[in-house]
């Protein structure tokens, strides 16, 4: 991104993210909380797999266990993407 002259802000949500921040990211991703869960994490496999939660409950689970959030997420002014593969970042910064 820096090579293209585009400034980016890195949000370290593994250390701290608020419910409001997560809801804004979800809105920009156009996804529900369950859609961004890392299902390969041990905690998910042992404690959450196969259980049904509301979107609000998933948000609370992700706030309490940010390691479960897919990453990296690149957030632009109006849109966000899960940057896997990295080329999808252009969808955020070039629009």
Domain assignment present for 87:
no
Range of the domain at 45: 2-69
The residue that leads in pLDDT, 65 or 8, is: 65
The residue that leads in pLDDT, 51 or 85, is: 51
The count of structural domains within the chain is: 1
Domain assignment present for 65:
yes
Q: What's the CATH code of the domain at 7? A: 3.40.30.10
Kindly report, residue by residue over 47-68, the tens digit of the pLDDT.
Answer: 999 999 999 999 999 999 999 9
- Which of 66, 4, 55 has its CA nearest to residue 26? 55
Residue 94: pLDDT band (50, 70, 90) is low
Domain assignment present for 83:
no
Domain assignment present for 23:
yes
Domain assignment present for 75:
no
pLDDT of residue 31: 97
Domain assignment present for 95:
no
Beta carbons within 10 angstroms of residue 22's beta carbon: 20
> How much is the average pLDDT of 76-83?
82
Domain assignment present for 92:
no
pLDDT of residue 43: 96
């Amino acid at each position: 991104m820096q090579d293209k002259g585009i400034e980016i802000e890195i949000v370290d949500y593994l250390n701290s993210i608020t419910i409001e921040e997560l809801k804004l990211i979800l809105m920009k991703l156009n996804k529900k909380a369950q859609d961004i869960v890392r299902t390969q994490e041990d905690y998910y496999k042992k404690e959450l797999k196969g259980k049904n939660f509301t979107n609000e409950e998933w948000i609370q689970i992700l706030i309490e266990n940010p390691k479960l959030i897919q990453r990296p997420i690149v957030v632009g002014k109006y849109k966000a993407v899960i940057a896997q593969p990295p080329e999808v970042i252009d969808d955020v910064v070039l629009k």
